[in-house]
Chains A and B, each alone.
Chain A
Amino acid sequence: MENIYSCVDGSKFTDSVCKYGIFFAKEAKIPLVFLNTVEHRHISKKQDFSGNIGLGARDDLLEELSKEEESESKSAIAKGKALLQSLKEKVDPNISVSTKQRHGTLYENLTDLENEIRLLIIGLKGEDSQQNNLAIGEQVETIIRSLHVPTLLVNSEYKKIASVLIAYDGSTSSKKALKMVAESPMLGDITRYVINVNKDAEKSKLILDQAQEIVKDSKIDIETVSRSGDALEEITRFQLEKNIDLIAMGAFSHNKLRDVLFGSFTSKMLAKAKASLLLLR
């Protein structure tokens, strides 16, 4: 059974993540799941530097630590439950929707659930990264580098997807990404731009012709764009120019190094782009 997973924690992007989930569930007629994780990051506030251990020290310590965490976990669960309930109520009754609450970090749980995920939707940064000034949530980085499911990274308010920009460099992975975007029932009738950034205009034209070839059978139209310069800059600039709602890129990594490179490129892209990013792997 494959589902669309919208990961929610009540932070800034929750609402948007939820709405994108509804949008794709409706378009593709795939069940939607709201996932909330109860993260255990308890750090004891008690300060005991007495450094001694007496009879039954271990049992006492275990008892003490579990008591401290018990109430914290209970309130986190209640908070998550309430959030899931409120989100569920917003969903159109003819969309199949369910909620899931699990213990542990989002990353751990998504790894466990990987086989059930058709599309993963997460916010650019979650609850745990709100205090620091990172552009991208700590967990998000790990998730995009290690999970091999299509992932939508939400970094702005929800808006109906009317156009998508596909970053295309002619590599196998970008070909696959293009195919997925062309054939996916999730995207429906929208404008599809295919951009290639290349110093050599001739080469760029060749690559883009290839792209046209790929989508020929899919009965969809693509608009190809060729640019030269820094890939990141050009892609984000074009996105702003045309006010494109979604940037799609492919990456089928085969090794760790590739994961790292991909992760960092994506990170920079995320930090710069004003549109949400769809990673196809």
Chain B
Amino acid sequence: MITINSKQGVFLLNLWTKQEWFGNIRGDAISGIIVALALIPEAIAFSIIAGVDPKVGLYASFSMAVVIAFTGGRPAMISAATGAMALLMVTLIANHGLEYLLAATILTGILQLIAGYFKLGSLMSFVPRAVVVGFVNALAILIFMAQLPELTNVTWHVYALTALGLAIIYLFPYIPKIGTSLPSPLVTIVVITLITLGLDIDIRTVGDMGNLPDTLPVFLIPDIPLNFETLQIIFPYAVSLAMVGLLESLMTATIVDDLTDTKSDKNRECKGQGTANVATGFLGGMASCAMIGQSVINIKSGGRGRLSTLLAGVYLLVMVVFLSDILSVIPMAALVAVMIMVSIGTFDWGSVKRLKTLPISTNIVMISTVVVVVYTHNLALGVFAGVLLAALFFANKISHFLYYETTFNEETNTKTYRVVGQVFFNSADRFIEFFDFKEVVENVVIDLSRAHFWDVSAVYALDKVVIKYRREGANVEVIGQNQASSTIIDRFGVHDKPEEIEKVMGGH
């Protein structure tokens, strides 16, 4: 009775896909160009950080942007070769070479896909805001530090050109009319390149840093022995890369969510990053992830849909393949200026202004994250340290929710301790200290009906108290034990009910 014709195929594209792709065609088409122009210097710069030919980063940026446009969970977010990832692969490339990096990239993608299928994106909720801010700031500092080798042991020309480059980037937009219609980083690159060529200044150029792409990327299988030894080499790198990649991508997704007041699908993003990295590895690109700076530029330039990400990748490839001769004469000084801009733009300036008003523990978490990252050059370690510290601070705060009341009945010579609040590893010692073991009493009643026992440390502390009293010749009776220990059995489901929460909170 019902037949399908080709026209109806359109119905298969559901409304949201349509909206995500074609909801903002004009804005996306323009922002894609601006992002692509900004991606080229970045991809080259990050390739240099990693120690590979610029083409590895450029191919990666193309393939990431194009694949993630289809598979990602956050429209308008830009993924490409990033500093965070580049820093993690330096030693792998130095010791084993490019082929191992490509294999590690594919493995990274596979790990991210697994993370996506197991919905590990939701683990992001364990990363507190302070750690996110620390991560972003550390990243900005790392990008800046990575530019330093280009600025040491060089002639004054490089400093002058870099300074000029930065001046153009930040002052050009103030020129009326053309100021906001031409991307100032592009103007910088053109002007600096023309100056160097015109005055015939002999400084390092992009061409000196390695091969640029001259063909479209081709599918190739990394040339490595497929054995356990190889896996041993690449696995640790892949784990760090996968973690950092997902962290930065999910953080960037949150930033884009906030800026555009829309929602993203975090688990789809994890899977999307995975797919994109697998594809990138096979196309000869390095492991990559979402970029905070570029995504902000995309939104600022009017990009809102998936089309902007796709076009950024396509424009980039077209420009790179056809303009590789021109690219190779760009002086490194121009690139350094653009990268310093990216570093400044990535830095969360508001977080520095807020330092004074935030609690000290939050600041310690943020700063520790930054310090660990800058010291180890590994963002995963920084996040780990930050999360650990934040958890400890939290445990410390919660342990304050514990107090006791005592009553003494002279007739029966009975002392009653009523404990209210949270007993767990961090407060167990305080729990023991509540009890006055010096006092000679015949009967001791410990009322736990409004206390809450979270773990084995708490149970152990109670045992200790009971035994100590018994030794001293008192009769001990513990009441309300059942309510107190009901959560040790890990039946967390019950706590969704308000009355259960009320019990846990000691009834206040």
Contact = CB atoms under 8 A, between A and B. Distances in A.
Interface in B341-385: 341-342, 344-350
- Scoring A50, A59, A145, A263 by chain B CB atoms within 10 A of each residue's CB, the highest score goes to A50
A61 B296 contact: yes
Contact of A107 (B15, B38, B262, B297): B15
Interface string B162-186: 0000000110110000011111111
B37 A51 contact: yes
A43 B27 contact: yes
Contacts of B8: 260, 264
Contacts of A267: 11
B349 A50 contact: no
Contacts of A93: none
Contacts of B183: 49-52
Contacts of A261: 2, 4
A183 interface: no
Given A55-B349, A61-B299, A47 B181 contact: yes
A58 B296 contact: yes
Contacts of B346: 53
Nearest to A146: B14
Contact of B1 (A139, A169, A264): A169
Q: Report whether over half of chain A's contact residues are helix, strand or loop; otherwise say mixed.
A: helix
A51 B38 contact: yes
A15 interface: no
B255 interface: yes
A65 interface: yes
B229 interface: no
Interface in A203-257: 231
Contacts of A50: 172-173, 179-180, 182-184
B387 to A, nearest CB: 23
A58 B170 contact: no
B24 interface: yes
Contact of A260 (B12, B184, B347): B12
Contacts of A138: 15, 18
A55 B15 CA distance: 38
Contacts of B186: 51
Best-buried of A40, A52, A142, A231 by chain B (most CB within 10 Å): A52
Nearest to A66: B261
B348 A51 contact: no
A231 B297 CA distance: 53
A71 interface: no
Nearest to B31: A49
A260 B11 contact: yes
A56 B349 contact: yes
A43 B258 contact: no
A50 B171 CA distance: 10
A51 B34 contact: yes
Interface stretch (B216-224, B278-286, B300-308): B300-308
B482 interface: no
B259 A48 contact: no
B210 interface: no
Interface in A29-56: 40-41, 43-44, 47-56
B293 interface: yes
B18 A49 contact: no
B30 interface: yes
Contacts of B230: none
B16 interface: yes
B260 interface: yes
Interface string A250-281: 00000000001101110100000000000000
A57 interface: yes
B341 A54 contact: yes
A202 B456 CA distance: 77
A264 B4 contact: yes
B173 A231 contact: no
B261 A69 contact: yes
Given A43-B24, A49-B34, A52-B183, A57 B300 contact: yes
Nearest to A65: B259
Interface of A: 40-41, 43-44, 47-59, 61-62, 65-66, 69, 107, 138-139, 141-142, 145, 169, 197, 231, 260-261, 263-265, 267
7 contacts: A48-B180, A52-B183, A58-B345, A65-B260, A66-B261, A197-B1, A264-B2
Interface of B: 1-2, 4, 8, 11-12, 14-16, 18, 23-24, 27, 30, 34, 37-38, 169-170, 172-173, 179-186, 255, 258-262, 293, 296-297, 299-302, 304, 341-342, 344-350
